[in-house]
Each structure stands twice: as C-alpha cells, then as structure tokens.
Chains A and B, each alone.
Chain A
Amino acid sequence: MTAGPILRIEGLRTRFGGFAAVDGVDLDVPRGRTLGIVGESGCGKSVLSLSVMGLVPRPGRIAEGRVLLEGRDLLTLPPAAMRRVRGGEVAMIFQEPMTSLNPVHTVGAQIVEAMRAHEPKGQGSARDLRERAIAALRRVRIPSPERRFEEYPHQLSGGMRQRVMIAMALACAPRLLIADEPTTALDVTVQAQILDLLRELQAETGMSIILITHDLGVVAEMADEVAVMYAGRVVERAPAAALFEDPQHPYTIGLLGSVPRLDEERTRLLAIEGSVPPPFALPPGCRFAPRCPFVAEACRAEVPALRGIGPAHGVACLRAPVELAA
C-alpha cells in the first residue's frame, strides 16, 4: 500500500449543463512529490481540483470517473466522511489570497476553525488551539505571529495572506495539498518566497502537492511530474525534465514557444494562432486540431488517447512526434 500513487484519478468527467469542463481525465499524483498541471485559462484545471475536493459548484456535477485517495473512492464517500477528508487528508489553497479569506473573522479564528473541524469534539482547549495556530503561522514564516493571530485579513499583504492560507491548509497535516494557482496574483518577488516555502514544507512533511498554474516557469521550478491540459483533457504527461527536454504534443510545443525567455533572444514569439475553443463549440476529435499546424484529417475525426511514449511520458496526439508528421 505504500508505493503506489497517493491519489489516482480515473476517467473523471465533470459537466456543467451541456458541456464537460473536465472531460475524461486520468492522473496519478506521486507520493511525496509534486504534480504540476499547466494549461490556459478555462481548460478545467480548477474544476479538476474542485472535483477532487467534492466542491464542484452548481450547476456542475461529476458525471463519471473515480477519484481514489489511497484506494478509497472519494466520489462515493458519504458527506460526513468526505468532510473529514477535506481539510484533513486533502487540503487546498486558492489563487486569490485577497478574497479567499473571510474578511470578517480574524486570521487566527479561521485557522483555529480549520483545526477544530478535524478534531474529535471537545478536544483541545481554546488556549491549546491558539498555541497551535500560532505555531502554524510561525511555520509559514509569518513575523510576529502572536500579533497577526488577532488581525483581520485586510490588514495583511497579499503574500502574507497566501501564507495564512497555507498555514490553514497545513493545520491538520494533510497528506495531499492542492494549490490552485497559489502565486498568480502575487508579485514575482513574493511568488518566489511562496514557492520556496512550499518546497521547504514539502521536504519537512513529506506531503504530496498538486500545483496548478499557467506559468511554465513555475512548473519547471516546482514540479516533478507535469500534466498539460487543453480544453478539459490532459494532452501530455511527463516528468518535468522530460517535458521541457522533449515536448511531444503540438500544444506543449506552442506553449513553450509563446513564452518569452530571459535566456534567449528571439525577434518573434511563436504564437499559437486562434484561441481556445469555447466549451459550447468544441470540435470533435482532437480539440487542438483547429489551431494545430500539424493537423491531419484523422485528427478531426478521432479523439486521440493518451499513449505512452517513454518512461512515464504520455501524449494524446496522433501526429506525435511531430518531426514524423512534418
């Protein structure tokens, strides 16, 4: 029971009315390591993570698939058990540190609340919980945590708030942390601090992390494994090094080309023409086909399956590797 992935997602499909925001995703989250998920806005990254947490907002619902945490299917858990998983075994932090904390409660109260939710009734005195919350704040390197404990979110800076979110998520020592674009709203210098912190905490606790981002730089910096998503599907999956070394899917290639780099001088960026198809007008077959320079007739008809092409490297493209298609 120890070796396998901590979380395994199988054929997950989450629908919003007429369309599936997450459309048949299979993923493994390696134990004690970081899985990075990249993709453009709207490709279903957040819905995927909310599906794992059982927090898909209305009118969304999970249509099929399994989400196995240590072998237990979270989708079939009764609500009370799911609540124990949430925040207890799996914790989550969100993109917007500005709005993700309740503005009317003190920071400390919100952390204490998270702890109390996963404690057997009546255990832990108020004082004890307070001590532990302050310790949690200290652990995420918040200066003078005793004072911050009494403060309200609006009195903290963005980076500080994100740290509070992390402290809260880690309050019950989860085995899996889902971080949905935790640094997108932050400045680069602060982003660097948060990423550093996450890395240290992972080393300390051995937890697994799902890190969602649209920034290839962050993925390269943090992830051990990477999944690239496009329009609700995983189009490529690989260990981080392999992905940057040997990008297979045309979308991954385009993405790499779109990013200006500090270590390289180019006159033009490689822009992927067009934009992500809106969810109500998805093409049949490969969803990247309308923008893909390597597109073939078959791409428009057939949905490509994720096929393995190397150790732990999979790609959902009929034309990969693209040299052969060219």
Chain B
Amino acid sequence: MSATTAEAEAPRRPGLLARLLRDPAAAGALIFTLLLLAAAALAPWLAPTDPLDNNLALSMQPPGSPGLPLGADAQGRDMVTRMLFGLRASLLMGFSATLAGGVVGVLLGFLAAFYQRWLDGPIMRLMDMMLSFPAILVGLAIAAIFGPGLSSVVLALAIATVPLMARIARGSALVTMRLDYIEAARAIGMTDARLIWRHLAPNCLSAIFVFTTLRFGQVILLGSALSFLGLGAQPPTAELGAMASEGRNFLFFAPHIAVIPCIGIFAIVLAFNLLGDALRDALDPRLRF
C-alpha cells in the first residue's frame, strides 16, 4: 500500500506478537516456552549421550560429578540427556492429548452451539457425563484396558480434555453467534458449513487458544499424576512424570533423580501458564485500541 495516501495517521494496531513482546513478562514466557520447545525438538542433537545407554557404575551420581552436570539416574544414565528426552516425550504427550481432545471437543462444542435446537442438549449432557469422571479414573480405566504406556495416558488425557474444550468452544461460539456478522452472513445465503468454518471458528479461536495453553499445563500435571500411579511411559522411554515418579523412591538418598524432572514439569507448566496469561491479556479486547 502506498504511503502517499493520506491513510498513514492511524497507527496500525500492533500484531499479536508485537503485543506479546511489549510486556516483558509475556515476552519472557514466550521465549521460555520457545526455548523449552527447541530443547525438546533438538534433543537428539543436544544430548551429550545416548538416552538408552546405561552405565550402572555411575548409578545415582549426584549433580556436579565429573561429566555429569545434573548427575546420573539409577541406571547411571546422564540426567541431562534424560531430561532432554523426557521433555520431548512430555511435551509430545501434552501436545497430542490437548490437540486430540481439543479438536474433538471444539467440534462438539461448535455443533452444540450452532445446532442449538437439536444437538445442544444431547451433546452437553454427554459432556456432563464425561466431565464427571475425574481424569485420573479415566486414565486408570484406559490403562487397565490397553495396558499402561504413553499412548494410554495420551488417550485418557485427550478424553478428559474433550468435555472442557467442548464447554469453552460452545460458550465462545454462543457469544459469537449472537454477533450481527453471523446473521449478515446467513442473510447473504451462506451454507452452514462455510459459516462455521469462515466466520464462527476463526472468531472463537482466541478464547480456545488461551484455554488450550492453560489446559496444556494441566494435562502435563495430570500425566505426571498418572505416571505416579504407575500408568505412564514404559521403560526405557524417558518422560518427566515417569522419571519423577520412579525417582521418588530415591528421594531421601539421591533427591536429584526425582527433583530435577519435577522441576522440568514445573517449568513446562509454568511456561504454558504464563504464556496463556500473556495471551489472554494480549487478546483481551479491553486492552486493545
């Protein structure tokens, strides 16, 4: 667009990223999250050792031992390596569960809101039922059915996420549906599918997105609780929750084996909480101009 036209006066509303970066706390959260993601993605290249290679002689070496800045776990594996791969598995677990549960939940929520006459009642009653099973119970049942393991945990967490997502999506869709542009689009003669896809969904996404980041943290926490109950990743997979729950047996003797993964979980959850908060602020219409 030419700068010669007389339109230059109104400053462009800064983009989402710019608004995020303006607040130092938000920028910090964003950078922190990106660092975690990068560390997880690059784990195979960053890790100093093979994640599966053990050396029983080094079992439980405390942090700061020669060549082992974070010490070694009970199998004598380098904690740095284990943490990098654990981060990777945990994030992957969180992502796939939130994503899978999110997609299904959002879809159901939209359908419930859009076809309020026929679908709202049935769908939301079903969601109520699902919601009334604590995630831990779902996880237990699924582990009992499919055997413990990362995929069971993901499935359980996804199922537990569906009703929450559906509620958020429905709520946000109901608000959006009351807006005139939806009515205008209908008046144009648009089909329902196009209406949902082009008008409803994009405008509900910010609320859903914010919730997703917050849910992500919860999912990681729930996953670690499931691991604690012995339903998590199977050896030799490194996953933070499983590492922490395994390490707790050495808590009094080699605390680093449990404490370091716990700090890892804490870091992820914290990062996503902060990011979610920052996003919420950045997307809050009242803070726009």
- A residues sitting closer than 8 Å to B (CB atoms) are 278, 280-281
B10-29: which have CB < 8 Å to A?
10-11
When A and B form their complex, which 5 residue pairs have the shortest distance between CB atoms, in order from nearest? A281-B9, A278-B10, A281-B10, A280-B11, A281-B11
Shortest beta-carbon distance, B216 to chain A, in Å? Answer: 32
Can you pick out 5 interface pairs between chain A and chain B where the beta carbons lie within 8 Å of each other?
A: A278-B10, A280-B11, A281-B9, A281-B10, A281-B11
Shortest beta-carbon distance, A287 to chain B, in Å? Answer: 14
Q: How large is the interface on B (under 10, 10 to 19, 20 to 34, 35 or more residues)?
A: under 10
Chain A: CB-nearest residue to B11: A280
Chain A residues whose CB sits within 8 angstroms of the CB of B11 once the complex forms = 280-281
Shortest beta-carbon distance, B100 to chain A, in Å? Answer: 40
Chain B residues whose CB sits within 8 angstroms of the CB of A278 once the complex forms = 10
Chain B: CB-nearest residue to A280: B11
Chain A residues whose CB sits within 8 angstroms of the CB of B10 once the complex forms = 278, 281
Instruction: State A278–B12 Cα separation when bound (angstroms).
Output: 13
- B residues sitting closer than 8 Å to A (CB atoms) are 9-11
Chain A's interface: helix, strand, loop or mixed, by majority?
A: helix
Chain B residues whose CB sits within 8 angstroms of the CB of A281 once the complex forms = 9-11
Instruction: State A278–B13 Cα separation when bound (angstroms).
Output: 13
Shortest beta-carbon distance, A291 to chain B, in Å? Answer: 14
Instruction: State A278–B10 Cα separation when bound (angstroms).
Output: 8
Chain B residues whose CB sits within 8 angstroms of the CB of A280 once the complex forms = 11
Instruction: State A278–B289 Cα separation when bound (angstroms).
Output: 10
Shortest beta-carbon distance, A249 to chain B, in Å? Answer: 24
Shortest beta-carbon distance, B242 to chain A, in Å? Answer: 47
Shortest beta-carbon distance, B3 to chain A, in Å? Answer: 16
Shortest beta-carbon distance, B281 to chain A, in Å? Answer: 15
Shortest beta-carbon distance, B238 to chain A, in Å? Answer: 48
Instruction: State A190–B273 Cα separation when bound (angstroms).
Output: 49
Instruction: State A159–B94 Cα separation when bound (angstroms).
Output: 53
Instruction: State A252–B29 Cα separation when bound (angstroms).
Output: 51
Instruction: State A110–B64 Cα separation when bound (angstroms).
Output: 65
Shortest beta-carbon distance, A275 to chain B, in Å? Answer: 11
Instruction: State A281–B11 Cα separation when bound (angstroms).
Output: 9
Chain A: CB-nearest residue to B8: A281
Chain A residues whose CB sits within 8 angstroms of the CB of B9 once the complex forms = 281
Instruction: State A322–B9 Cα separation when bound (angstroms).
Output: 29
Instruction: State A278–B11 Cα separation when bound (angstroms).
Output: 10
Instruction: State A281–B9 Cα separation when bound (angstroms).
Output: 7
Chain A: CB-nearest residue to B9: A281
Chain B: CB-nearest residue to A279: B289
Instruction: State A278–B9 Cα separation when bound (angstroms).
Output: 10
Chain B: CB-nearest residue to A277: B9
Shortest beta-carbon distance, B287 to chain A, in Å? Answer: 12
Chain B: CB-nearest residue to A283: B9
Chain B: CB-nearest residue to A278: B10
Instruction: State A280–B289 Cα separation when bound (angstroms).
Output: 11
Instruction: State A215–B9 Cα separation when bound (angstroms).
Output: 29
Instruction: State A281–B8 Cα separation when bound (angstroms).
Output: 11
Instruction: State A262–B10 Cα separation when bound (angstroms).
Output: 37
Instruction: State A281–B289 Cα separation when bound (angstroms).
Output: 13
Shortest beta-carbon distance, A304 to chain B, in Å? Answer: 22
Instruction: State A185–B147 Cα separation when bound (angstroms).
Output: 62
Instruction: State A76–B9 Cα separation when bound (angstroms).
Output: 38
Shortest beta-carbon distance, B13 to chain A, in Å? Answer: 12
Instruction: State A122–B9 Cα separation when bound (angstroms).
Output: 58
Shortest beta-carbon distance, B198 to chain A, in Å? Answer: 30
Shortest beta-carbon distance, A179 to chain B, in Å? Answer: 26
Shortest beta-carbon distance, A315 to chain B, in Å? Answer: 27
Instruction: State A261–B3 Cα separation when bound (angstroms).
Output: 42
Shortest beta-carbon distance, B47 to chain A, in Å? Answer: 48
Shortest beta-carbon distance, B288 to chain A, in Å? Answer: 13
Shortest beta-carbon distance, A190 to chain B, in Å? Answer: 25
Chain B: CB-nearest residue to A281: B9
Shortest beta-carbon distance, A273 to chain B, in Å? Answer: 13
Shortest beta-carbon distance, B286 to chain A, in Å? Answer: 12
Shortest beta-carbon distance, B114 to chain A, in Å? Answer: 29
Shortest beta-carbon distance, B180 to chain A, in Å? Answer: 19
Shortest beta-carbon distance, A277 to chain B, in Å? Answer: 8
